[in-house]
Amino acid sequence: MASHIMGFQLTLLLFIVFVVGFSNANHLNLFKTFKSVFKPKANSTTWAVLVAGSNGYENYRHQADVCHAYQILKKGGLKDENIIVFMYDDIANDPENPRSGTIINSPQGSDVYAGVPKDYTGDSVTASNFYAVLLGNKTAVKGGSGKVVASQPTDRIFVFYSDHGGPGLLGMPNLPYIYASDLNHVLKTKHASGTYDEMVIYLEACESGSIFEGLLPKNLNIYVTTASNAIENSWATYCPGTKTPPPEEFDTCLGDLYSVSWMEDRYFATIPFHRRWIDSEDLTLETLQQQYLKVKKRTLNDDSTEGSHVMQYGTLSISEEIVSNYQGSATRTISTDRFKIPVSMGVIDQRDVDLYLMWQRYKKLTEETQQKGDLRKKISKLTAYRAHLDNSVGMIKRYLLGSGDGPLRDAGSALVDDWDCLKFMVRTFETHCGSLTQYGMKHTRTLANICNNGATKKAMDEAARKSCSSFKLGQWDPAIVGFSS
């Protein structure tokens, strides 16, 4: 009996020595194995679609986000022929830009505009072109370079979008907006075509979680992270008058909190096993899940009320893959700049940025001039229109829902069951009350609740007509600016 015990102990001791020796000798090989498991297939191409959904100098940050993303992907090894950029392209050479011909995405940042492909600019930045590009449908594209995602079954796709949003929709500089139902239909169609292996989507917008919540199946090989959940705003950063301001000559916000968080993550990524700052070569070991956790923490903004909850949707197993499969891996020297990134960021609610920036400019004008008077009128007019939108939606809600909010929906449910009804409600509201605008996009939840409550089209039309009968549409007439749906 004793000999059996001694034999077992000897065997156990030899096994321990073997494991320890193997671990010491093959520590690096473990990481090499990790990399080999998750690296792209030999015949795989990574495609990228980058979308800035706004225009106007007050929305500088959205195009800055997209230009920065392009530079990261380009330096990471993606080819221009596989990167497709949507941006209105009115920011770099805007008269208000103090550094004409350039765009920056952080206070100490360098120019991110140089070299960015002008695939879809101006009037060609549309929802329909975005859908056609994702589907690889060249014949459906109108204007632009005509470049589409001509992906093959083994290819990966990375999509990054930055702009304003609202419950169930995303902004575009040329109307109509992107609706969650339409985008998810496009993604399902793309999957059914068998023309990609896996897709990763990063989405910066208010209520961006509502674009996928209850809508995106888990079996499409699509992994998504969003800047916020389905019921909260996202945040602009590097804004004048905040604790993380842009250079003094800028009177606009340079970036968005979620967007700069994932892009700046590349400069201070960590690998838990090494417990140290890593360089760009090691970045190929960071997984999408690790990046998500760091971006989630930073976007929550030190657990303050001025932050949002980054969310995950879709095929979550993809998050275990390495970041460089989708975003590339650029050679880079570690810089002490990483220590200058504050734990808590100065931010402004995305929906309030335009008005906030006007007030900042107004306060800079110390003398009573024509310019200051004109700006004061502009602020007053915009504030009044916002109040009109809020009051009109509130009145329609009382007509059709009474004192309540409509039927309660289960957690994780889609915003609305009948998306055609929601589009009709938006169009009817705009016909009588004026364009929703970037600010009014938040009211689509109320319009969705009206649909969920079973209100008829006739009832909505009558309620909107009564609520806005005395309002002059003027510059917000959808016949002039277009309909959101």
Residues with a catalytic annotation lie at: 164, 206
Burial class of residue 105 (count of CB atoms within 10 Å of its CB; 0-12, 13-18, 19+): buried
Look up residue 484 and give its DSSP letter.
-
- At 475, give phi and psi (nearest 5°): -70, -15
Give the number of other CB atoms < 10 A from CB of residue 63.
Answer: 31
Sequence-ordered alpha helix ranges (H) in 330-369? 353-364
- Please give the sequence-ordered ranges of beta strands (E in DSSP) within 357-430, or none if there are none: none
Residues 6+ apart with CB under 8 A from 411: none
Would you say 238 and 217 are in contact if contact means Cβ atoms under 8 Å apart? no
CA distances to 180, 289, 406, 455 from 451, rounded to whole Å, are 16, 37, 9, 6
Residues 6+ apart with CB under 8 A from 264: 106, 341
Residues 6+ apart with CB under 8 A from 391: none
How many CA atoms, within 13 angstroms, populate the side-chain half-sphere of residue 220?
A: 24
Burial class of residue 321 (count of CB atoms within 10 Å of its CB; 0-12, 13-18, 19+): buried
Helix (H) or strand (E) segment spanning residue 12: helix 2-25
Would you say 419 and 179 are in contact if contact means Cβ atoms under 8 Å apart? yes
Sequence-ordered alpha helix ranges (H) in 41-173? 60-75, 127-135
Would you say 240 and 246 are in contact if contact means Cβ atoms under 8 Å apart? yes
Tell me how far apart the alpha carbons of residues 415 and 454 are, in angstroms, rounded to a whole number: 14
